Amino acid sequence: MSAEVLPPVLLIGCGKMGGALLHGWLERGLTRAVVVEPHKESTEAFAHRVEVVADAAGIPSGFVPSAVVLAVKPQQAEAALEALRPFARGGAMVLSIMAGKTISGLDGVLGGAAVVRAMPNTPASIGQGFTVACAGRRVSSAQRALAGRLLEAVGEVAWVEAESLIDPVTAVSGGGPAYVFLLAELLERAAVEQGVPADLARRMARATVAGSGALLGRSAEDAAVLRRAVTSPGGTTERALAVLMGEHGWPGLVGEAVEAATRRSRELAG
């Protein structure tokens, strides 16, 4: 079997993130997938490539997945978890991308499982995601490697030993795309307020954010170095940054925002 071929997977939920993962797995030679998804429109793109069932009761008898991937909202998972216990007890690795659900909590519900908890972000939909993962104590080296291969199908993967780090990761990486999209939204609005035509403002804001992100991704320089390279002494950018980096500007606000999101992630786990 080729190293690129992925073993059978049971996917619970085929929304945006579950669908992005499934697409990446199929591109990498997934041998078989059974998808539990009640909304048929969510799986139309995968017609005739995977087996789709409406609920856990419909999982084919005799199907033995190497991994069970939980890609649903926490409140939607409760009904399915009990039905997944035989797979966990049978040796399947459980990979959860649900916000707030801890490894110990899933382990307890599943009756002793090899659980990997991960937090991907939405650029996974174009194969540019960033995922941070943490392996539970029951996870073998082979299962950790499999989890890594499944997650790498949609982008870069980093591992942490302390599960508590998943909360700030959720705040920064998981929610980060929304903060970047907000920046593009605000730049567009500000341009319009300064008299730039709406269609040009939209193109300019989006291209500026996308291009700057691409430059940052390709550069070995720190973000601060790149920022200073754009900031000419006494120039227009310096004047703008004096506002953004002022007493009530971005440095404090971003810190407060990440702290608030981290706190909420911990509340969901509680």
Low-confidence stretches of the chain (pLDDT < 50) are 1-2
> What per-residue confidence (pLDDT) applies to 266?
87
Q: What is the pLDDT of residue 270?
A: 64
- d(CA 156, CA 230) in angstroms, rounded, equals 28
The pTM score is 0.90
The candidate with the shortest Cα–Cα distance to 125, out of 9, 240, 22, is 22
pLDDT given at position 2: 43
What is the per-residue pLDDT for 1? 37
Q: What is the pLDDT of residue 82?
A: 83
What integer pLDDT is reported at residue 76 of this predicted model? 75
- Are the C-beta atoms of residues 25 and 9 closer than 8 Å to each other? yes
Contacts of 66 (CB under 8 A, 6+ apart): 7, 8, 9, 92, 93, 146
Please report which helix (H) or strand (E) contains residue 131, including its range. Answer: strand 129-135
Backbone region of residue 155 per phi and psi (left: phi > 0; alpha: psi in -120 to 50; beta: other values)? left
Mean pLDDT estimate for the chain: 94
Task: List domains and CATH numbers for the chain.
Answer: 9-163 (3.40.50.720), 174-269 (1.10.3730.10)
The predicted pLDDT at position 125 comes to 95
